Amino acid sequence: MADPAALVSESFQTFVREAPEHAEAWGAMVGGLAEASALDKKTSALAYLAVLAAGRLQSGIPFHVQIAKQAGASREEVVSAIFELHFTPGCGHRFGAET
């Protein structure tokens, strides 16, 4: 399995490099939210993938696919989280739409 850190988008790497204090605060916030979540890690990772896909935030998908796999998600679960169309109505059916 690929190292998730190797899949971090260039834009996020730039954020960490250029604004390290903000990146540290971001990481603390993300960690705190994860600790407070009632969801198990796999469910949380799959939900996050669904949000990324519905929001057309493709740059984060490779990293978060690996996080989901490390949390025990199967390929089929990852594919479903990203592509099942019942997630898109809440985001305005944006799959394939030009923005």
pLDDT tens digits, residue range 61-70? 999 999 999 9
Q: Which of 53, 78, 79, 58 is nearest to 67 (CA)?
A: 78
**Span 44-64, average pLDDT:** 90
**Span 31-56, average pLDDT:** 92
* Chain mean pLDDT for the chain: 87
- Could you tell me the domains of the chain? 4-90 (1.20.1290.10)
pLDDT value, residue 6: 83
Q: Which of 12, 64, 9 is nearest to 42 (CA)?
A: 64
pLDDT value, residue 29: 96
* Stated pTM of the model: 0.77
**Span 53-72, average pLDDT:** 91
